[in-house]
Structure 1
């Protein structure tokens, strides 16, 4: 469900999709049970940072890539945050899942109402007759009791050979809405068949319906899984022979149970298991009231540029570069909450929408200059469109002074 969104295009494509392959220098890391996982993973997809190339070589039939941080129905994007998407229906995530990265991306999916494939990617560097752990982190971005319905995604992961032979299918179906944002790790195991060293990974949301059913994913990994060698058992030496002066000791017999190689069935089906995120990776909590004032709003002046009183209704706010396009970028806060992060101003608008009514009578918009472009100061033209009125506001901000616009319900 997408009712309100912000969108912007950054003209320069920066960065690349970080997909890492580790084929040498493997160390061992134990796992519960009888499986040992080799680390680092053979494959790790964490979607890089900034503007990256699309994971999908061609757009899936029911999906398109969105230009901004808040995709609409049938869209996906790569973003480091969810700045106030859908007028508060989504959690405000300020970072992706990958630990320790800077402005790292997650893949954010606003599911197509009719379902469909949203990700397809080839995996190479695997070994035949070898078991692997497949794992990824996901989060349901819809807030419980806020989105229009408690509709959760069901994601089918399909692994096939390049020729199309099915290797394994996993169903991710424990991605429920919550009152707080919570990343969840999903994992399952499969075995590569003989003669195969690569596969095609496909992910499909099979939930039907567009109200709710929105999610993000990050840190997709494949780790080799081997069974530990059984302990070596030694037989005690035989008792010495009494009728001989010298006893002959026989060499100990070593028994080793070599596990049999079990042929892989054509299709391995299982329900993927779930692990909650550990305490060392804190979840994001959404606070409805008393939002802390961001540091950039406390350390800079915030003069009032325009006061607008309007009747109840939905307002569209467009922000353009004012005059020559010189590389200005801005960050926008709505009632102290981040809604737009480092958007480049151009002839195409940076757009947000707000709802003014008795439950939301006051809206404070603060424009923060991320830079001054090539022609200081940072200037922009804001156009506020109500039902039957249109307001033009000229914005100017610097690295010492922000610009504030207040919009209030007219009594």
Structure 2
């Protein structure tokens, strides 16, 4: 963000989980019993500083103790206040709970998209499945601005020149008050991978908006647990979360009076949304969630994880979609949603395809197809083959879904 710019104005919340793009995780058939974190990056605190980006990064530079870094800069700080004439949220503390003077990474995006975070780790075990998680918050407030930019972050887990997994947050929209969101994804370490790199790059331009904070990166080992013989299935209600009240040490308070953040008390910690976990009620706070706009999402999409397995860009076309059973026909049935609207209900998978057509043009530039498993058939999980034909290009997508996880495919109109 330039110092005379302000952040884009968007008046609704967008709840997004970390999207799994690259898919080596056949272990999704089972649930994970996560151990304690083997990697925990919280950037330290005022007395124990832990810097991460020590290698030179093109288009980004580290600045010291600057809670309001300029375009193309990042810093590790315990709080932000009154940045760029009040166009950023005031973060009175980092995300890490119960720390004193805890620091977070604050990033003001460079005008050119690119990598802003690199960290190398060792000690992960080949053949073992892990969960990666990170907390992010868009620190922009509302306000008129030229071109609207919001953070859109890719996360790569790699070994040497080979990607082990690629994750994407999707666009992180601004909110009326700072809202930390947790993004998670699963990956498996291949044989011979001794040094792992975690790289983050921002797909969006900087200069107007696209400013964010990061905290509490963790990697946890996944102990695969086979499903029990019988499972009682209960849909838990989605419950609103409101923050606890915390007092910061005197050393972290700013001497002059801070501008009021929208719907946010000076003493309250930012609202936290843990995705995809449901949120339990906390102590009463300033914001009343029943005043927030309600986004209507079908129940099978809101109660299950929606994992992105493929994203395609195409020129204008009449897209042909064919869905087959993948392998032995075992009684799998599926329901398909298109942009949160029911498209196909309880269709059986077989050697004969379920055939759909979707128009991709300037009036219909974005399409999200979500495959919901109605059952697991006689051979779990629910698997299928989706064949997309766009102009002269053919895409084959192998899909695996369960009663906990849906599969999502995104088709966007290619910008010329």
> TM-score, normalising length from structure 2?
0.49
> TM-score, normalising length from structure 1?
0.50
Rg comparison, structure with higher value: 1
